[in-house]
Amino acid sequence: MSISPSREFEEPLTLSANFLWGGAISANQSEGAYRADGKGLSTVDVIPHGENRLKIKLGLEENLAIDPSAYYPSHEAIDFYHTYKSDIKLMAEMGFKVFRTSIAWTRLFPKGDETKPNQKGIEFYRAVFEECQKYDIEPLVTLCHFDTPMYLVETIGSWRSRKMIDHFVNYAKTCFEAFDGLVKYWLTFNEINILLHSPFSGAGLVFKSGENHDAVKYQAAHHVFVASSRATKLAHEINPDNQIGCMLAGGDFYPETCHPEDVWAALNKDRENLFFIDVQVRGAYPRYTNRLFREKHITLQTDPTDTEMLQHTVDFVSFSYYASRCASRQMTQSSEANVVKSLPNPYLKKSEWGWAIDPLGLRIAMNTLYDRYQKPLFLVENGLGAVDTVGTDGQVQDDDRIDYLRAHIIAMKEAVVDGVELLGYTTWSAIDLVAASTGEMRKRYGFIYVDKDDAGQGTGKRIKKKSFAWYKQVIASHGENLN
């Protein structure tokens, strides 16, 4: 006998009344003004556009001196440091309920290890958050978004040193106190798992000849975990209303075939990424790391207090989703298009940069994360990097972006009906900015076009794209009108 579901079990594709719609940027990809008002150098400030970029991001380049003949995208970016008021006004016009951004550690602590902050930095971010408050926009703030202080890289080896924990906690404490009442939602580290794939970008790691790269990366990860837990504990003590999240570069791995070894390969690639959330949500290392560390010849240096400290876990799980991934027992054709390597998936279309377009993969990823952790989720990055051009009529017709976002919002809503608890959705990005992976401006993500090219040339003029009006309509209808 078959049983048909009755209408009482059917649910409409609706989101909670307090669902947070918005968009995201980061300090290092938008602010520019890399030396203004006492700011110190961060890791992103020594990563140039061009052929040497990848070697530096992988932690394989020891000479990190700034080359006067090279172009460094973060130095100017889109000049959000000076245009934040008009940019936030445009976001408010779209109806943003939340704006995700980050604080540049070296704007508050130029070297990273000072005891007292640079007041100019405090004043800038307070002004940004007050501008958000003016439009009833909730800031969602990342403390460290791929911009570790260079002084700490050069003097103590960045996160390979346990000393980083105290420096980060001092910085976090300063932020929680200085912006108390202005910021409620915090993320400690952006895409924390990227330190495995892009070690210098993710954790300021530069490898020495002959050392075990895996051992260095996982030791750095341990220090990051302890720092994040201490910051989480502190945030809750300073204000119990603070909500602290972790952040993952998300997307499940599919096995290339149903061959058991391909399935096993995909499971292990997923574990490689989910490990970072396992620790931050469950408050302890998963048992599968015992074998992993043994086989990779990793012996973590820990403190007796670490076990207890890790139990100060996050309130929610945030993640980025751009694409699903594909793995096999023989990863011989891995795609170089994305930071996290993946085999090409023949069943999916690709973006201009070779990223798989897979809306159903978002629904799968959301179910994976919620089933595994039973914590509220926050989708804090999702978008399409594409070449956008200004037409002779002065307009930017970005229909591909609208199609991409529409399909992913539908998948996101389906996941909510599946039972996933979702706090909000911030697209990547609110406005065009420097692409973290390639350092390009032509790889555009925003609803707002910025007149800048890959060499930093252009007026910086802002132009509303076609997607601007579309997303405004999406927010106004609470995700119901996606036409």
Q: Say what the pTM is.
A: 0.94
Q: Are 186 and 235 in contact (CB under 8 A)?
A: yes
261 is catalytic: no
What is the pLDDT, as a whole number, of residue 7? 40
Q: What integer best gives the mean pLDDT of the chain?
A: 95
Among candidate residues 250, 317, 247, 316, the one with its CA nearest the CA of residue 102 = 247
Tens-digit pLDDT profile for residues 409-461: 999 999 999 999 999 999 999 999 999 989 999 999 999 999 999 999 999 99
Query: What is the CATH architecture of 17-476?
Result: Alpha-Beta Barrel (3.20)
Token look-up 């007050």 returns: 130
pLDDT above 90 (res 6): no
The active-site residue, picked from 31, 131, 191, 381, is 381
Ranges of each domain in the chain: 17-476
* 3 band by pLDDT with thresholds 50, 70 and 90: very low
* 11 band by pLDDT with thresholds 50, 70 and 90: low
What is the pLDDT, as a whole number, of residue 4? 44
pLDDT above 80 (res 9): no
Amino acid at position 219, single letter:
Q
pLDDT above 60 (res 334): no
Strand ranges (DSSP E) for 16-125?
Answer: 20-24, 98-102
How far is the C-alpha of 319 from the C-alpha of 312, rounded, in Å?
20
Tens-digit pLDDT profile for residues 157-174: 999 999 999 999 999 999
* 13 band by pLDDT with thresholds 50, 70 and 90: low
What is the number of residues in the chain?
A: 483
**What φ, ψ does residue 243 adopt, rounded to 5°?**
-115, 120
What is the pLDDT, as a whole number, of residue 331? 72
Percent of the chain with pLDDT over 90: 93
Token look-up 């490898």 returns: 207
pLDDT above 90 (res 101): yes
Quote the radius of gyration of the chain (alpha carbons, Å).
Answer: 22
Sign of CA dihedral 216, 218, 220, 222: negative
* Least confident span in 5-14, 68-77, 89-98, 280-289: 5-14
